[in-house]
C-alpha cells in the first residue's frame, strides 16, 4: 500500500545546526522510488525552504504551520493574516517594544531591532538543543531575513516575536481572539518566542485539505515530528512518529519514538515502517 508521508523540518528532517543527515535524504528518495508520496509539513514559510531541501525531492509542502498547501507546484490552499490583522499585530508589538518578524512566502521581514535583540533568544534556543552558539549570528538562523522594509503587509502567513516573559503570550490570547497564538523555542517546549497565525488552522487541518485534493485516504498517512505544534498532525495521521530529540508531550502521544534526528532517526523509522526497498541503504 502506497503511503502519504508528512515530515516536520526543524528537529525532524534537519538538525538543530541546520544540517540534513545523509541517511534522511536516502530514506526520502528511496521511499519515493517505492511509490510513496513525501511532503514537508513545517512552520516555515515557502521562502524559508532552501534549494538544498527541495533538491532532496518532495511531492509538495504544507507551510506556515498549515496556512499554505502545495502539491507538485500547484497551490491547493493559502490562508493569510488579513492586512487589518497585520497592522494590529505590528502596532501592538511596537507598543510593547517586542521585536518580531513577519513570515511570508516572499521572505522574512523583521522589525527595526530584531537582529540585535534576538541574539539572547537564539543562543538560548541553540543551547537548549545542546548546540554551541557562541559564534552564531541571527542571520545564520534566519537566512535571507530582511530589514528596513514595510511591515504593514497583505501576504503574511504568521508572525513570530521575542517574548520578554510568558505573560506576553498570555496577553496575546486576550488581545487577538481572531488569531491563533502560540509559543516556540527550546528543548522541552521552553517559550522563547511567541507567534500569531490564522485561527482554525493547524497541520492536521491542512493535511486533510491535501488528502481531499489528491484523493488519498487518512488510513494511508504517516507523520513525523518533534514539537508540540506537531501533535495535531501525529494525532490525525494513521501513524504518528516522534523523534527521540522531541519534547516530552509529543513522545508520550506518538505511536512510537525513533532515534534523534542527528542519529539517523528518520531513516530508522522509514526502515521500521517498511517504506524502503532492498536498495534503501544509508549513505
Q: How confident is the model at residue 184 (pLDDT cuts 50, 70, 90)?
A: confident
Are 118 and 68 members of one domain?
Answer: no
Question: What sign for the dihedral angle of Cα 186, 192, 198, 199?
Answer: positive
Are the beta carbons of 220 and 1 closer than 8 angstroms? yes
Domain count, the chain: 2
Tell me the pLDDT tens digit for each residue of 77-113. Answer: 999 999 999 999 999 999 999 999 999 999 999 999 9
Residue where one domain finishes, among candidates 141, 164, 198: 198
Residue 186 pLDDT: 53
Are 132 and 221 members of one domain?
Answer: no
- Within-domain flag for 97: yes
Global confidence as pTM: 0.88
Is the pLDDT higher at 142 or at 172?
172
Are 205 and 66 members of one domain?
Answer: yes
> Could you tell me the residue range of the domain that residue 71 belongs to?
4-79+201-272
Residue 144 pLDDT: 81
Q: How is residue 116 written as a grid cell?
A: 540585535
Tell me the pLDDT tens digit for each residue of 134-171. Answer: 677 787 778 789 998 999 999 999 999 999 999 999 99
279 has a pLDDT exceeding 60: no
Which of 4-13, 240-249, 273-282 bottoms out in mean pLDDT, i.e. has the lowest? 273-282
User: What's 117's domain CATH number?
Assistant: 3.30.1240.10
- Within-domain flag for 160: yes
Are 101 and 169 members of one domain?
Answer: yes
Residue 281 pLDDT: 56
Residue where one domain finishes, among candidates 182, 198, 214: 198
128 has a pLDDT exceeding 70: no
Residue 104 pLDDT: 96
Give the count of alpha carbons within 13 A of 172, CB side only.
30
- Within-domain flag for 175: yes
- Within-domain flag for 72: yes
Question: What's the mean pLDDT when you consider all of the chain?
Answer: 92
Tell me the pLDDT tens digit for each residue of 69-79. Answer: 999 999 999 99
Are 101 and 236 members of one domain?
Answer: no
Q: Which long-range contacts (CB under 8 A, 24 or more apart) does 269-273 make?
A: 269/224, 269/241, 270/27, 270/28, 270/30, 270/31, 271/27, 273/3, 273/222, 273/239, 273/241
97 to 8, 91, 113, 193: CA distances (angstroms) = 31, 10, 10, 14
Are 194 and 208 members of one domain?
Answer: no
Are 96 and 181 members of one domain?
Answer: yes
Residue where one domain finishes, among candidates 176, 198, 220: 198
Task: List Cβ neighbours of 44 (8 Å cut-off, separation of 6 or more).
Answer: 9, 10, 63, 64, 103
- Within-domain flag for 282: no
Are 16 and 53 members of one domain?
Answer: yes
First to last CA, the chain: 26
- Within-domain flag for 59: yes
- Within-domain flag for 54: yes
Amino acid at each position: 500500500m502506497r503511503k502519504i508521508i508528512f515530515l516536520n523540518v526543524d528537529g525532524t528532517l534537519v538538525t538543530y545546526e541546520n544540517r540534513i543527515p545523509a541517511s534522511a535524504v536516502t530514506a526520502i528518495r528511496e521511499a519515493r522510488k517505492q511509490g510513496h508520496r513525501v511532503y514537508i509539513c513545517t512552520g516555515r514559510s515557502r521562502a524559508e525552504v532552501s534549494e538544498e531541501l527541495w533538491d532532496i525531492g518532495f511531492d509538495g509542502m504544507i507551510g506556515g504551520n498549515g496556512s499554505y498547501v502545495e502539491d507538485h507546484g500547484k497551490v491547493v490552499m493559502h490562508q493569510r493574516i488579513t492586512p487589518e490583522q497585520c497592522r494590529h499585530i505590528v502596532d501592538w508589538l511596537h507598543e510593547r517594544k517586542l521585536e518580531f518578524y513577519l513570515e511570508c512566502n516572499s521572505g522574512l521581514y523583521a522589525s527595526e531591532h530584531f537582529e540585535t535583540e534576538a541574539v539572547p533568544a537564539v543562543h538560548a534556543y541553540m543551547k537548549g538543543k545542546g548546540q554551541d552558539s557562541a559564534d552564531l549570528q541571527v542571520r545564520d538562523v534566519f537566512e535571507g531575513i530582511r530589514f528596513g522594509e514595510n511591515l504593514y503587509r497583505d501576504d503574511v502567513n504568521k508572525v513570530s516575536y521575542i517574548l520578554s516573559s510568558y505573560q506576553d503570550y498570555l496577553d496575546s490570547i486576550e488581545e487577538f481572539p481572531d488569531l491563533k497564538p502560540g509559543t516556540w523555542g527550546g528543548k522541552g517546549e521552553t517559550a522563547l518566542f511567541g507567534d500569531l497565525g490564522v485561527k482554525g488552522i493547524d497541520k492536521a487541518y491542512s493535511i486533510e485539505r491535501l488528502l481531499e485534493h489528491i484523493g488519498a485516504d487518512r488510513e494511508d498517512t504517516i507523520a513525523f515530528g518533534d514539537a508540540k505544534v506537531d501533535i495535531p498532525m501525529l494525532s490525525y495521521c494513521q501513524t504518528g512518529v516522534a523523534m527521540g530529540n522531541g519534547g516530552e508531550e509529543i513522545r508520550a502521544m506518538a505511536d512510537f519514538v525513533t532515534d534523534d534526528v542527528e542519529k539517523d532517526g528518520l531513516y530508522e523509522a522509514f526502515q521500521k515502517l517498511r517504506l524502503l526497498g532492498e536498495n534503501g541503504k544509508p549513505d
